[in-house]
Structure 1
């Protein structure tokens, strides 16, 4: 073996090893612990501490009344009461169920509608006026009607979440299908792929990034839609808890609930991001 050939083989071994999952994790860890990243993290923590200290001082000094703003310590003291006596996590599960069920319904029906409209010109011509007209209707104006038809139970909020997400899935699916490259379709036809095989193995994978992008947006919107429906009319859920806190001007409880909802939203969005990287679009991150 010549020296040049040996060096080439060594380079290939190093390159292969650097692509292993362990090497990738080690590289990411070194990047996360770099001096620049640690400096940024330190600056962020100092900013948060400064804001919390300022809020605490404004309330404790009486410069802002507690009816308008709650201090961080007051907010923390409210959490045991929310968790034990007002069943924070039980109400959270109700709101999450409404958001997940409405999103799942919007995903299935919206993607199916988008596939039909994206693949069939006749289907698009037939459905487009109805979908466009339905999307133009302000959602807020029909919520009182939904309350009349469905009551104030869980189904009422599921339909509201569905309405907020359905059109997003429809048009993102259509956009994703129209982005399929002609060369991919020609290769599929050249290999004798049937219509169904072309749709399943070429068109839908190509449209997947647009569909997943809609799912990511809907993840944040769904919780807001469920909360909005609960604030309008509900018997339980985080929106109902917000309503009761607003009704008695309990500012500390209100801020505690807003903080809880923010944390839950971040966790849900993070879970969707991981689902995208590990399952839905795993091929993009290999």
Structure 2
């Protein structure tokens, strides 16, 4: 016999409560788009109607899916590599002041450089295959991961660390039991930013030199003045970012049910 018969209904209502505002905003954006095109305030060859764009997406679904899969693979691979390298770099920086003082300015310098400006170099060095796209995705996604992880590792209560040392916990056990769990909320904040930036990085790499992927689709459509296909490529690219963001957020909810931000969701959803 269920102790909480309304539990599933409560969760569904909570999801609907959190979702209706962004859904309403999205519907409003599509309504404005439709109104602009239906009244011909802008010529159709500049801004196609939502119906025309969705029609192209349906008619060319196999073509778009093929290139969507390529961009998604590049994005996910670049994101995973950025997470692994970023977390390891953050751990080393937190435990070594010398490394932090040496590496941090270099990271800031690398972040300031526009990736679109150096992407052609990766094509020259690495060719037109998968590697340069993944490298650009890694470079763009790396910075928020390492910064958020460093912040998380440094935000641990010093009294907790002193208590662990007093009880004879080794540095490895202190990291595994205290530092790393405490850094996860900050890390997931960085991951949600990084995963959307990874999409941008993959597409930027495809802009520079590629014969497949959504960046290639958008460039081809732009060159052919095929605005419906261009808009379709942009919509699919945005959809990839949204889906990946939601997946990271679901992982956060599964791994951090104890965090205060999760306990406070019921209060914030009523605002």
Q: TM-score range by the shorter chain?
A: 0.7 to 0.9
TM-score calculated relative to the size of structure 1: 0.81
Q: What stretches of structure 1 of length at least 5 have no aligned partner? A: 1-16
- In the alignment, structure 1 residue 64 sits paired with structure 2 residue 42: yes
Q: Give yes or no for contact 2:68–2:236 (8 Å, CA) kept in 1.
A: no
In the TM superposition, residue 32 of structure 1 has moved relative to its aligned partner by 6.3
Q: Relative to 1, partners in 2 of residues 1:153 and 1:55: Cα closer, same or farther, differing over 3 Å?
A: same
Superposition CA RMSD, Å: 2.6
Task: State the TM-score, normalizing by the size of structure 2.
Answer: 0.85
Measured against aligned partners, the alpha-carbon deviations of 1:67-110 in whole angstroms (never above 9, x if no partner) come to 211112211221233213xx211211110111111111111111
* Residue 138 (structure 1) aligned to one of 92, 114, 134: 114
Q: Alignment partner of 2:258: what SS?
A: helix
Structure 1 segments of 4+ aligned residues over 4 angstroms from their partners: 30-34, 40-46
**RCO higher in structure (CA 8 A, sep ≥6):** 2
Residue 241 of structure 1: how far off its partner (Å): 0.5
Are residues 1:210 and 2:186 paired? yes
- 1:1-80 maps to which residues of 2 (within 5 A)? 23-30=6-13, 47=28, 50-59=31-40, 63-80=41-58
Deviation by residue 1:208-241 (Cα, 9 ceiling, x = unmatched): 1111111100111111111111112111001101
Conserved? CA contact 1:94–1:236, under 8 Å: yes
Q: What's the counterpart of residue 169 of structure 1?
A: 145
User: Is 1:159 the equivalent of 2:135?
Assistant: yes
Are the structure 2 counterparts of residues 181 and 26 from structure 1 closer, same or farther at C-alpha, using a change threshold of 3 Å? same
Range 104-113 or range 184-193, more displaced: 184-193
Contact 2:57 2:232 in 1 (8 A): yes
The whole-number CA distance in structure 2 between the counterparts of 1:248 and 1:213 is: 39
- Map of 1:282 onto structure 2: 257
Query: Could you say if the C-alpha distance between residues 30 and 157 of structure 1 is closer, same or farther in structure 2, counting changes exceeding 3 Å?
Result: closer
Count how many residue pairs are aligned between Structure 1 and Structure 2: 258
Partner of 1:121: 97
Q: Find the counterpart in structure 2 of residue 12 from structure 1.
A: none
Counterpart of 1:110 in structure 2 is: 86
Pick one of 234, 240, 256 that aligns with 1:258: 234
Q: Contact (CA 8 Å) 1:56, 1:73: kept in 2 or not?
A: no
Secondary structure of 2:39 counterpart: helix
- What is the CA distance between 1:199 and its match in structure 2? 1.0
Q: CA deviation at 1:23?
A: 4.1
User: Deviation at 1:256?
Assistant: 1.7
